[in-house]
Amino acid sequence: MLRLIENWIRSSINETMDKALTRIVKDQYIENLSEMIPTSNKVGPINLMEIAMRASQGLPVARPLGSPLHFSPWDKILFNPVHLYRFPTPENVGINTSVTIGHRARKPLTLSIPVMVAAMSFGGALSKRAKIALAKAESIVGTATNSGEAGLLEEEREAAQLFIGQYNRGGWMNTPEKYKRLDAIEIQLGQGAQGSTPQRTAVKNIGEDFRDVFDLKEGEAAQIHSRLPGVNTQDDFIQLVRRLRDETGVPIGLKIAATHHLEKELQIAVEAEVDFVTLDGAEGGTHGGAPTLQDDVGLPTLFAITRAAEFFARKGVMRDINLLATGGLVTPGQMLKAIALGADGVYIGTAAVMALVSDQMVEALPFEPPTSLVVYTGKMTDQLDVDRAAFNLVRYLNACVHEMELVAVTLGKTALTDLSKSDLCTLDPFISKATGIQLGYVSPENQQQFFEETRPLFDNMAEEYKETQNEGMPLH
């Protein structure tokens, strides 16, 4: 009987495939389903989907988790192991993974690992259960979680041993009774996936718990402004940092979207004597931002870190101002490369959420996306097992940091914070020139010779650049 059914299925599939292939070969493109292949290849499957969404909704498409484009060429950078020149670290020596943020603050923030959960707000992004799970996991591993642009969620504060809160453009954390309960304050002026654009959560997506945390009236939308209320001049910002520092004593930081105007922005941060700067690269995630802001705005994380670290070194404030990097960091290798390039710590968002739901996504799939378990407006948020989700993230973070420790051992280091550019090489001469990482193709002794010999190549490019500048033409 089974054999009969099997034969029948085989012959049906065969007949269907024959008919489909015959139509594909014989029909003109205009009436051929395979027309989708060149169209999709030309436009791209994501763009094709988003064209249809824009056509259907007439509004910016709310794409979750940030840009699918990879702007930071992490894969062109490699770590340099040691054998005899410097010896690897003995395996019985523990690698120091801790990092202190805000050495100058009255109450510095010391983390056990240099990885934190990024700013994802309750309500605007995640559900209460997801926020509590993230906070629980971070407490178990001894690091901090971030409020995102939200008010103070009591349950999250209680679950988080170390809690970084965002003084935000919506104004929901900006009263002394709230910000005085934080372990560090991050003044949020922008983010990688959305720049400094305003955002709004519509009334239909605001529940009672959201209204309570955000102090909203019934029927009132949650509005994030493009500017921080009360900060309209550079001096206003400097005064705000001083006031928060005097009132709280905790590290005060600035979070911005990474931008080509980076050094000009950082100059104000240095003048304000902030304790840390969080740079969110163009790959930064979001709960649901417009694709154009995600794909076409900002500076990639890798270059933002190297430029900021170089700027701080030039200004002599490397020990005074910690650099936190975020935006598209997914693998432990990427996180550690960010640290080697000058970041003191990193934030992870998308990776943390995916780790959280890893073994529970089967509850949602195949009819709902995994995010429906964790986003505030998700259909299945009640089904998230908080403790199971938290321990998934604990396991993930342990694995990531352990992999980082293994790299530190092969580099002959005893602390993750000891890694530097000299532990890296790159396979791309342009990255080498831009970041100061040595070029892996040639020995350290021959770096200068290589670049001198290939100088005509760069000179030609410089000439071309000059010509385009003189003609007032944009640089291609």
Piece of the chain touching another protein by CB under 8 A; list 31-39, 393-401, 440-448, 454-462: 393-401
Sorted by sequence, the CB contacts under 8 Å of residue 357 that are 6+ apart come out as 364, 370, 371, 373, 374, 384, 389, 392
Q: Does 448 help bind another protein (rule: CB under 8 A)?
A: no
Nearest residue (CB) to another protein, 236 versus 246: 246
Q: Does 96 help bind another protein (rule: CB under 8 A)?
A: yes
- What's the closest the beta carbon of residue 255 comes to another protein, in angstroms? 24
Nearest residue (CB) to another protein, 98 versus 410: 98
Q: Does 184 help bind another protein (rule: CB under 8 A)?
A: no
Please give the residues from 15 up to 44 whose contact with another protein meets the rule CB under 8 A: none
**The one among 77, 105, 111, 389 contacting another protein by CB under 8 A:** 111
Residue 280, helix vs strand vs coil? strand
What are residue 325's phi and psi, to 5 degrees?
-115, 145
**The one among 398, 422, 449, 460 contacting another protein by CB under 8 A:** 398
Contact between 450 and 441 (Cβ < 8 Å): yes
Piece of the chain touching another protein by CB under 8 A; list 4-12, 140-148, 261-269, 337-345: 140-148
**The one among 60, 64, 142, 249 contacting another protein by CB under 8 A:** 142
> What stretch of H or E contains 118?
none
**The one among 105, 120, 141, 257 contacting another protein by CB under 8 A:** 141
Please give the residues from 189 up to 248 whose contact with another protein meets the rule CB under 8 A: 246
Axis-axis angle for helices 262-271, 234-248 (nearest 10)? 50
Which amino acid is it at 394?
A: V
Q: How far apart are the C-alpha atoms of 67 and 133, rounded to whole Å?
A: 25
- Residue closest to 169 by CA, chosen among 201, 143, 145: 201
How remote is the C-alpha of 343 from its chain's centroid? 13
Instruction: Give the position of tokens 């509005």.
Output: 223
Contact between 243 and 32 (Cβ < 8 Å): no
Contact between 64 and 375 (Cβ < 8 Å): yes
Nearest residue (CB) to another protein, 92 versus 470: 92
How many beta carbons lie within 10 A of that of residue 119, not counting itself? 26
**Would you call 178 exposed, middle or buried from its count of C-beta atoms within 10 A (0-12, 13-18, 19+)?**
middle
**The one among 34, 80, 112, 438 contacting another protein by CB under 8 A:** 112
How remote is the C-alpha of 16 from its chain's centroid? 46
Nearest residue (CB) to another protein, 80 versus 98: 98
- What's the closest the beta carbon of residue 425 comes to another protein, in angstroms? 29
Q: Does 94 help bind another protein (rule: CB under 8 A)?
A: yes
**Helix residue spans in 331-385 (DSSP H):** 332-340, 350-357, 361-364
Q: How far apart are the C-alpha atoms of 400 and 331, rounded to whole Å?
A: 7
Q: Does 98 help bind another protein (rule: CB under 8 A)?
A: yes
Signed CA dihedral, 354, 69, 201, 378: sign only: negative
Q: Does 424 help bind another protein (rule: CB under 8 A)?
A: no
Nearest residue (CB) to another protein, 297 versus 401: 401
- What's the closest the beta carbon of residue 391 comes to another protein, in angstroms? 7
- What's the closest the beta carbon of residue 107 comes to another protein, in angstroms? 12
**The one among 86, 314, 402, 466 contacting another protein by CB under 8 A:** 402
- Residue closest to 135 by CA, chosen among 401, 402, 386: 386
**Would you call 140 exposed, middle or buried from its count of C-beta atoms within 10 A (0-12, 13-18, 19+)?**
middle
Nearest residue (CB) to another protein, 65 versus 109: 109
Which amino acid is it at 410?
A: T
**The one among 65, 336, 355, 401 contacting another protein by CB under 8 A:** 401
Piece of the chain touching another protein by CB under 8 A; list 26-34, 106-114, 247-255, 339-347: 106-114
Piece of the chain touching another protein by CB under 8 A; list 66-74, 212-220, 291-299, 391-399: 391-399
Q: Does 100 help bind another protein (rule: CB under 8 A)?
A: yes
- The torsion region of residue 171 among left (phi > 0), alpha (psi -120 to 50) and beta comes to left
- What's the closest the beta carbon of residue 97 comes to another protein, in angstroms? 5
Piece of the chain touching another protein by CB under 8 A; list 105-113, 361-369, 427-435, 440-448: 105-113
Q: Does 336 help bind another protein (rule: CB under 8 A)?
A: no
**Cα→Cα distances 358→328, 363, 420, 445, Å:** 18, 10, 33, 47
Piece of the chain touching another protein by CB under 8 A; list 30-38, 358-366, 387-395, 451-459: 387-395
Q: Does 140 help bind another protein (rule: CB under 8 A)?
A: yes
Nearest residue (CB) to another protein, 141 versus 389: 141
Nearest residue (CB) to another protein, 139 versus 372: 139
Nearest residue (CB) to another protein, 97 versus 196: 97
| Chain residues in the site for another protein (CB under 8 A) | 92, 94, 96-98, 100, 108, 110-113, 140-142, 246, 391, 394-395, 398, 401-402
